[in-house]
Amino acid sequence: MRETSRDVVLAERWGEGLVAVPEGERVDIDVRLESVHEGILVSGTASTEYAGVCGRCLTDIVQPVEVEFQELFAYSDREASDFEVQDDHVDLEILVRDALVLSLPFQPVCRPDCPGLDPETGERLADHPELAPRETIDPRWAALAKLAENPADPDLGTREEDHGR
């Protein structure tokens, strides 16, 4: 069994979408390598920061991310595996990249209660609290909304037999 730590600087961006781990970012990796009958069991953690934009208000965000990973690197004479021991070495890049990228949020937010953007002006609602979100009525339900506002209005299409009940 061997434990080691590495600081790796990324040569390329990891991730797509609204947030990713940028090129040049440092990834701290703590790993434990254990020899087992089938190969080498790799367990560890990786931590770094991701950067991007908030999915609601488009503000730039930078957040820390830490993941745990574990994988068995099989000896090459065993069954086919995605991860194999090559010349008594294991390549952790794919394992760490996949763990980090899959842990990135799909819809990142700058804060949990981010109100987003005003749909009419495009301004950030957090910067302008007077621009409270307006309740919009789906045009398909507009006639029902009018009926709810004034149920006795004869112009809203009530039938005559309904008035006698």
Q: Is residue 160 part of a domain?
A: no
Q: How would residue 11 be classed by pLDDT, with cut points 50, 70 and 90?
A: very high
Evaluate if residue 9 carries a pLDDT over 80: yes
46 Cα distance to chain centroid: 17
What is the average pLDDT across 56-60?
Answer: 92
The pLDDT value recorded for residue 27 is: 97
Evaluate if residue 154 carries a pLDDT over 80: no
What is the average pLDDT across 138-156?
Answer: 71
First to last CA, the chain: 85
Percentage, residues of the chain above pLDDT 70: 83
Q: Is residue 44 part of a domain?
A: yes
Helix/strand/coil percent split, the chain, to 5 = 20, 35, 45
Sign of CA dihedral 143, 144, 150, 153: positive
User: Do 96 and 138 belong together in one domain?
Assistant: no
The pLDDT value recorded for residue 66 is: 97
**Coil/strand/helix, residue 115:** coil
Average pLDDT, the chain: 84
Q: Is residue 122 part of a domain?
A: yes
* Range with lowest mean pLDDT among 10-14, 43-47, 76-80, 114-118: 76-80
Dist CA 148 CA 137 (whole Å)? 13
Q: Is residue 25 part of a domain?
A: yes
User: Do 98 and 122 belong together in one domain?
Assistant: no
Dist CA 46 CA 5 (whole Å)? 10
User: Do 79 and 145 belong together in one domain?
Assistant: no
Overall domain count for the chain: 2
Evaluate if residue 50 carries a pLDDT over 80: yes
Q: How would residue 153 be classed by pLDDT, with cut points 50, 70 and 90?
A: low
Which range marks the domain in which residue 13 is found?
A: 2-103
User: Do 91 and 28 belong together in one domain?
Assistant: yes
Q: How would residue 15 be classed by pLDDT, with cut points 50, 70 and 90?
A: very high
Residue 115 token pair: 């109100």
Q: Is residue 158 part of a domain?
A: no
User: Do 21 and 92 belong together in one domain?
Assistant: yes
User: Do 31 and 60 belong together in one domain?
Assistant: yes
